[in-house]
A and B are shown apart, each in its own frame.
Chain A
């Protein structure tokens, strides 16, 4: 777990503090997304965790250990780091880039080679085809996959990711999100993730920390941030379509109505689908309700516009 306690930071030439008395946790195995407009202090907060920036006040601990107890380099080698613009070394091959931290840790050559292959496989890049390429030969999405592989190289328990999926087209970004979640499902890293994109925060975060002017404005699950924005600022930041964003977070099983509603409609969606997909199908087909089936294709209920509205009226826990 990463714990941020009463942390403050001011830069010399800035008028106001970059981070003010900030406290929050990143629980072990979870993804916490820091979000806010540019200059809100989210990147500074992340950079204090691996001591690229030193706080003026407060403490940061990882699994109970104060980060100041380590030499900065030793600390950083144990924390995965993926950044905006990827920061791949242009004069090194993909394999050499992925091998940076294992190399710094003094791993054996064979072990590094094995690990590199394994990681490129993990992020969906054919090791034989990509290992020898240089960064300029990669597409934006491929480069960001390599960035993630590099951050995971020494299997660090903690990952810091500063807009690692910026600067790619929306389709590629969606695919990277799906892949990242699949990897996270397997590896259960403790991830602090910085973004300014609410859709990305909602898609990836177990929790969201909204920041403004160096202060924490709200921290909660994505769905609760969308449902109950703490103030006007958060409401405007999550956008007027926040109800639609919430739809994609809730599985259809949360708005299940009796099967009878969908009678006469030949179609159904899977129980793992989101309410957003279900509503989209309803609108597409022009029907009042749609069936829901389990993995064995048995109908277990139905979803209707009314049941969705009811679901949204219920208070969230």
Chain B
């Protein structure tokens, strides 16, 4: 069956944005030293004619595939593959730009990716994600598309091809601290999500079982959500300091207005809402007839909960957990404000030193961590929910 389609809006938009990014925006920034103001270079200046031609060709191909007239499923696969190619190509060409622009006579010179290159990478990855979601794409192709770009970048990082890029030079200077802060980021987020998961599912179940408590539970969870992060650690400072100095055990554990305590408390409170809400919504979405049938056939209340309610609510509950986990991982940068570390340190440190590469090191690492976590959780969700339950709210497509 050759199902031909009309023009593909996402593909055409991506192609237009990609072409614009290559031709109109600066592709790289050249600085004679780490904290000098940079000189923006166009793609042509940074890559030379062949490099520009290669990038333009990929984006033009994306546009061509998206014009319509190509059977839908292969078109989606092509777009995903071209997006991957554009992403990896941009990263590889940026390394090529470094080698063109620097030589041993300028050891302190730095070349970083410009807004155009980042735009190319962003648009390319969006295109990959979008093609992943198209119906009918074979599972294997989908999995390959999900993995190709991250793997490609990982290989380039591992082989040292990118070592001369400014952001990687920054990493080389900071590598010990970098991994320590990544670990702190993950540790804070992990602990907070674990606590929020226990607390949140309990509160969600409570809201479901006791209609009278529903209003108060959601009101409280909602309030936490509306307090800005900095205000939250500010508000926590006084009570946690008091606890730390007046309860000896807590003091010895390091509880105080600064350090891990305010970070984990704030992150837990932020993560609650998504988990409470989805637990409640998941339980409420279980068909009444299934519960009635279970009870009527002689299941105990506990058997109905364990064998009927929870399995049916699971996709929605897991969706809430995924949202909470990804959000919390990002929010953990709060740690930088209260002397608890995290990748936020690089971002804020970079801002105060006006060191663009340091800011980027922190933020790019954050984005990659969040994407990786989301990908892993999505995959788990996909494996965990039987085929016929997908498509329910919160379940992966």
Contact = CB atoms under 8 A, between A and B. Distances in A.
A101 B297 contact: yes
Interface string A98-128: 0011001000000000000000000000000
Interface in A242-269: none
B49 interface: no
Interface string A66-96: 0000001111111001011111111100000
Contact of B298 (A101, A134, A137, A160): A101
Contacts of B297: 76-77, 81, 100-101, 104, 150
Given A91-B311, A91-B386, A83 B298 contact: no
A285 interface: no
Measured as residues with beta carbon below 8 angstroms from the partner, the interface class of chain A is 20 to 34
A52 interface: yes
A13 B308 CA distance: 29
Contacts of B294: 87, 89, 100
A81 B289 contact: no
A153 to B, nearest CB: 9
A219 interface: no
B321 interface: no
A77 B300 CA distance: 11
B389 interface: yes
Contacts, number: 69
Interface residues of B, number: 19
Contact of A84 (B289, B290, B300, B303): B289
Contacts of B252: none
Given A52-B295, A91-B389, A134-B388, A73 B289 contact: no
Contacts of A104: 297-299, 303
Given A134-B388, A136-B388, A90 B298 contact: no
B317 to A, nearest CB: 14
Q: Which of B296, B303, B311, B389 has the most CB of A within 10 A?
A: B296
A75 B294 CA distance: 13
A87 B289 contact: yes
Nearest to A89: B290
A44 interface: no
9 closest residue pairs by CB, A with B: A87-B293, A77-B298, A76-B298, A87-B289, A81-B296, A85-B289, A73-B298, A134-B388, A91-B311
Interface of B: 287, 289-290, 292-300, 303, 308, 311-312, 386, 388-389
Interface of A: 47, 50, 52, 72-78, 81, 83-91, 100-101, 104, 134, 136-137, 150, 160
26 contacts: A47-B296, A52-B295, A52-B296, A73-B298, A74-B298, A76-B296, A81-B293, A81-B296, A81-B297, A83-B292, A83-B296, A84-B289, A86-B293, A87-B290, A87-B294, A87-B296, A88-B290, A88-B293, A89-B308, A90-B388, A91-B386, A91-B388, A104-B297, A134-B388, A136-B388, A150-B297
